Amino acid sequence: MASSATPAQLARRARRTYIEQLLKGLSPLVMRVSTGARTMLDKPAERMVMMRRRDLVDDLAKHASAWHKRLGLGLKALYEKGNAQPGRAIDLPDPSASLSLVDNDTIEREILTSRLALAMMDRASWEFSDLRSRIVYLEQRGELDTHDLLRAHALARVALDAWRNAGLSADGWREAQHLLHQEFAALLEEAYHEANRWLAGHKVLQEIDLRPFIRRQDNHAGGAGVGGTTAPHVTGPTSVLPGTTSVFPPGQGDDTGSTAPLTAGRQGPRSGHAAWPGVGDETRLMTRAAPLARGPEQAEAVVGRLNQLVGRHVPGFAKTSHAPRPVSPALAAAISNTQRSIQRRVVPAGGEVRGAGSTGGLGSSASVQTVLDDLRREHQALKAAANSPSERATIEIVAMMFQSILTEDRIPASVRVWFARLQMPVLRVAVSEPDFFANLDHPARRLIDRMGACVMGLDSAAGAVGSALEKEIKRVVQVVEAYPDTGNRVFQTVLVEFERFLEHFFRNEHEPSKRGVSLAQQVEQRETLAIQYTIELRRMLNEVPVQEGVRQFLFQVWADVMATAAVRYGKQSEETKDMKRAAADLIWSASAKVTREERAEVIRRLPLLLKRLKDGMVLTNMSPERQDERLTAVNTALAAAFTAKAAVIPNERMRDLKERLESLEELLPAAEDIQIDESLVLDLSGHESSELEVVSEGGTAPTAPMVAWARELLVGSWYQLEYRNRTENVQLAWTGLRRQLSLFVTTSGRCVLFQQQRLAAFLQAGLLLPVQEESLTVKATRTALAKLDADPSRLMAS
């Protein structure tokens, strides 16, 4: 360490170097984002995507300089705050501030910020680990503060806040998310590297020692990890390096007292989870490998690494990966010949399908192995017909990807042979539109992924589901083959058709899910109406002097009663109108009665009113105990009216309330603005029946990213559900309005309903896990990347 500066001064100077490097990289980053947005606009896409991209390009043209300026100001402010109070959290909320509900915009910002931070750390984790070690050594601390300016989340927050404050939209951020993640990850990695280089130049931990991050457990009974060995605990994101020995200085847990250094090499995993014994199952589930470990950012990284690797060995491949190019005539002819050969092997009963809407047959005359053998024989002919290194590389990569897909045992063999027939159409698109290798949203990729996700594990599924899905996949493949010259448009068309098929099938054709969807829609309609009625009742009674007990009864009980009657009998039915009249009678009865005639009228009406209230609660399946509890509160309110303790409601106001109750449906807020969450609807278990199982307990409090993930689950996908002492595969069959409710169907035909927060809680705790860890095409790309890493010469071989 340099003698002219104290450790604290070195740490401050390292932070300054880090911020200066970020500031230096802002201008090229903004330029690359703007250029990348224009490049995206040139790519073919559906109309809504094109509109969003056009808006993004226009907004960046207007506000890029403002975004650049605010980024710089934000980073300088971050440095000033962190430098003023080193070791203290930045931008912490005031603990004395009153608690309030978090608005949707704040949650959305947190989600976008977290995604950016994760993407940056996926690339820069090693540099950050080294920098963190040096800083905590200098500052003599156990760990960096959660909100330290060196953490990726701090930069992510500055980036997003600058974007929004510059006038750029959240929709624009989401459209450019992949590009933003790449650029900021590269910027952060370079800034960490520069700060590390500066500290190493000042002789600060030139060789990183991982001892502060590794702690041994006591070797006692019950303390063994997986395989009976003691599992080390790791603090921070650094993993235990396999094959290394934990060495501690005296007093830090090493019984030998050794002070030998431990040099951190680059071996070992980048992330990991030790087996933690002696804790509950739920904690174990939360600390095992998260199902989000291979999320969109990791998938993008795999695709990016493939393009980089191929680009190094095939000049021009990466540079032309976004530009359309024609297929050479010889290769086009070879692709057609191979396609016809495969079609002869895999022939549907009843002949070929030549248009959308046809169904084709169910027969198949080839095994998966036979088709694979045919494809291998044709492979050399295809590469011989290619007239450029890029075409040969494309043929090789597509072949390796489909070999991975066709050997996926979890897909039934009868379906895999139909995936085989997609190889030539996909090759034709990949050669002419190399965007296939760079864009995870390419229609061909999405079609393969969606179909694959729906048939994973079909061997154990109900026969009706497997038969219908296999039939639809055959139809889709034959339609794609029928239009070879339409590029990715035919893939996009059949993808939309496949999504519609899934929705129609589970809603109208599959008997178990058909019944479940009908019940779930009634649940959703009832809960949505109950919330709408509650909101409107609050508005109506906002300035009306209604006794508090009656007010709470109307909000918490009677709104649900009116909603149930509306769903069961119709909004304009006599039963529903009777429930509305009961609400008006209750409000009138609970107002002050100062004359003998009014009191006599209340006594005359009371038995009928109480009976109607009880009948309404019975309609909602409320237990007798809760009914008695609610009626007791109502009786207390009515007693207060008799003693003139309640306020008087003028007759004109009462008439107005009755008229508004009668026309309540005309005043309701829009259904799309309603969220069925636990703050308004605490329990859906009252809807449970022999045909519908409602998940009302279990899981852990979900984070915002988990809630976002719960909203993104796709109909038809398979998951493993652990609930009520059962572990079984379930298929997502239906999602409701704004995905507030989700219905799953088990292989035995049982329907399971989740509310959004509960679904996120199960995902958080690992009680609901995707059967498919990552999509088919991403897994296939990862497999191809591994093979090419081992033998890059395969790209150029003819």
pLDDT in tens, 554-600: 888 888 888 888 888 887 888 888 888 888 888 888 777 767 787 78
How far is residue 42's CA from residue 655's CA, in Å, rounded to a whole number? 62
- What is the residue whose two structure tokens read 């989401």? 174
Which are the contacts of 199, defined by CB distance < 8 A and separation ≥ 6?
10, 14, 131, 134, 205
pLDDT digits (tens, 9 = 90+) for 663-711: 665 555 454 444 444 434 434 545 556 668 888 788 888 888 888 888 8
CA-nearest of 197, 190, 157 to 26 is: 190
DSSP run (H or E) holding 10: helix 7-41
pLDDT for residue 642? 66
> 3-state class of 123 per DSSP?
helix
Rounded CA separation 468/511 (Å): 13
Q: Are 242 and 267 in contact (CB under 8 A)?
A: yes
| Confidence class for position 460, pLDDT limits 50, 70, 90 | very low
Res. 542: pLDDT tops 80? no
Q: Give the residue among 526, 527, 557, 530 at the shortest CA–CA distance from 628.
A: 557
Contacts of residue 578, defined as CB under 8 A and 6 or more positions apart, other chains included, come to 565, 612
Question: What tokens does 7 get?
Answer: 């450790």
Inter-residue contact 754 to 742 (CB < 8 Å): yes
Residue 233 pairs with which residues in a beta bridge? Answer: 215
- Tell me the mean pLDDT in the region 331-343: 86
CA pair distance 532, 523, nearest whole angstrom: 14
Instruction: Kindly list the structural domains of the chain, giving each domain's residue range(s) and its CATH number in brackets, ordered by start.
Output: 7-92+102-201 (no CATH), 215-260 (no CATH), 296-340+366-509+780-795 (no CATH), 521-673 (no CATH), 685-773 (2.30.30)
pLDDT surpasses 80 at 457: no
Residues 505, 510, 513, 514: is their CA dihedral positive or negative? positive
Average of pLDDT values for 642-668? 65
Burial class (CB in 10 A: 0-12, 13-18, 19+), 717: buried
CB neighbour list of residue 445: distance below 8 Å, 6 or more residues apart: 436, 439, 775, 777
Does residue 91 have a pLDDT over 60?
no
DSSP-derived 3-state class of residue 741: strand
What is the average pLDDT score of the chain?
75
Average the pLDDT over each of 194-203, 458-467, 543-552, 771-780 and give the range with the smallest value: 458-467
What's the pLDDT at 146?
Answer: 78
Question: For 711, left (φ over 0), alpha (ψ -120 to 50), or beta?
Answer: alpha
> Any idea how long the chain is?
798
Residue 524 and residue 741: Cα distance in Å, rounded?
A: 7
Which residue do the tokens 């009153």 mark?
Answer: 98
CA pair distance 561, 375, nearest whole angstrom: 64
pLDDT at 280: 39
Closest CA to 196 of 4, 2, 79, 21: 21
In terms of C-beta density within 10 A (0-12 exposed, 13-18 middle, 19 or more buried), how is residue 228 classed?
exposed
pLDDT of residue 589: 80
Q: What angle do CA 757, 761, 762 make, to 5 degrees?
A: 120
Structure tokens at 237: 């994101």
The whole-number pLDDT of residue 245 equals 30
Per residue in 26-54, pLDDT (tens digit) is 999 999 999 999 988 888 777 788 888 99
List C-alpha distances in Å: 435 to 192, 320, 420.
32, 9, 21
First and final CA of the chain: distance in angstroms?
57
Cβ-based neighbours of 596, under 8 Å, separated by 6 or more: none
Summarised one tens digit per residue, pLDDT across range 150-182 is: 999 999 999 999 999 999 998 899 899 989 999
Q: Which residue has the tokens 């330290």?
A: 148
* Type of residue numbered 145: D
When pLDDT is averaged across residues 598-606 and rounded to a whole number, the result is: 81
- Determine the Cα–Cα distance for residues 344 and 77; give it in Å rounded to an integer: 68
Between CA 36 and CA 647 the distance in angstroms is: 66
Distance CA 635, CA 639 (A): 6
Give the tokens for residue 109.
């910002």
Backbone angles phi, psi at 780, to 5 degrees: -65, -40
Q: CA angle, 427 as apex, 425 and 433 as ends, to 5°?
A: 100
Q: 3-class DSSP state for residue 535? A: helix
What integer pLDDT is reported at residue 208 of this predicted model? Answer: 61
Residue bearing tokens 């603090």: 235
Strands 214-215 and 726-735: unpaired
